Amino acid sequence: MTAPSASNASTTSGDVSPAPSLEVSGVAYAYPDGHQALFGVDLTVGRGERVALLGPNGAGKTTLVLHLNGILGGGVGSVTVAGLPVEKRNLAEIRRRVGIVFQDPDDQLFMPTVREDVAFGPAAAGLRGAELETRVREALEQVGMAGFADRPPHHLSFGQRRRVAVATVLAMRPEILVLDEPSSNLDPASRRELADILRALDVTVLMVTHDLPYALELCPRSVILSEGVIAADGRTRDLLCDEELMGAHRLELPFGFDPRSVATA
């Protein structure tokens, strides 16, 4: 019998279904000062899903996200990414698989040119020459910024910088793209352009956002994290239409916005 290949390592014998992009099981975490941020979180995100992570400030969203690539750990429970446990021995590969795009793109862009910023991660992982150039070109094409490769990032608009920040993560070919407030500070045109890009990507997306209309537009499924636990998990439209649920977890729709009146894909 032929041994399973590395590409099939996340599947079990007789099961051709790939492991979910993300499995969080019983994760609880307290900071050194004693503040308990998570109280046993369970979450599964399938490959190719786009899921919004919603919740009020202080709900534990950032703490949960920092567990996904091993920045935080040592608490209770487990996290796996495409079948690979988030453990110290796996951190280099986990951080390739989990690409986090920060709310402020200037936290992610620090090189003299766009090309160098997008190349930084793959180059640090050992890519060189034509393969590196291919990664950079493909990532910039995915976000519509191929014509800006030689521009200094600080000469770009805020929306363009956010797209380049996404490209820096895509160049690593991640399993899951984690976006922290992707629509913040974007004008309406930039907001729409980014939405079009995210819909076209062949990657799992976990979007942390307070922008509830954007969650409805982009994510068929949403999860509400509140006081360190998953309070609800379901179709985004259903959650946003549940006034009692929304009120209980300090989530408010913009004035005049009715999720029932919006057509989504």
113, pLDDT greater than 50: yes
Q: Is the pTM of this model over 0.95?
A: no
| All domains of the chain in start order, with CATH | 20-250 (3.40.50.300)
User: Residue 262: its pLDDT value, please?
Assistant: 84
Task: Tell me the per-residue pLDDT of 13-53, one tens digit each, with 9 for 90 and over.
Answer: 445 568 999 999 999 999 999 999 999 999 999 999 999 99
Is residue 174 very low, low, confident or very high in pLDDT (cuts 50, 70, 90)? Answer: very high
Task: Tell me the per-residue pLDDT of 83-92, one tens digit each, with 9 for 90 and over.
Answer: 999 999 999 9
Cα distance between residue 127 and residue 223, in whole Å? 36
Cα distance between residue 150 and residue 70, in whole Å? 33
Is residue 206 very low, low, confident or very high in pLDDT (cuts 50, 70, 90)? Answer: very high
Is residue 3 very low, low, confident or very high in pLDDT (cuts 50, 70, 90)? Answer: very low
User: Residue 29: its pLDDT value, please?
Assistant: 96
User: Residue 9: its pLDDT value, please?
Assistant: 41
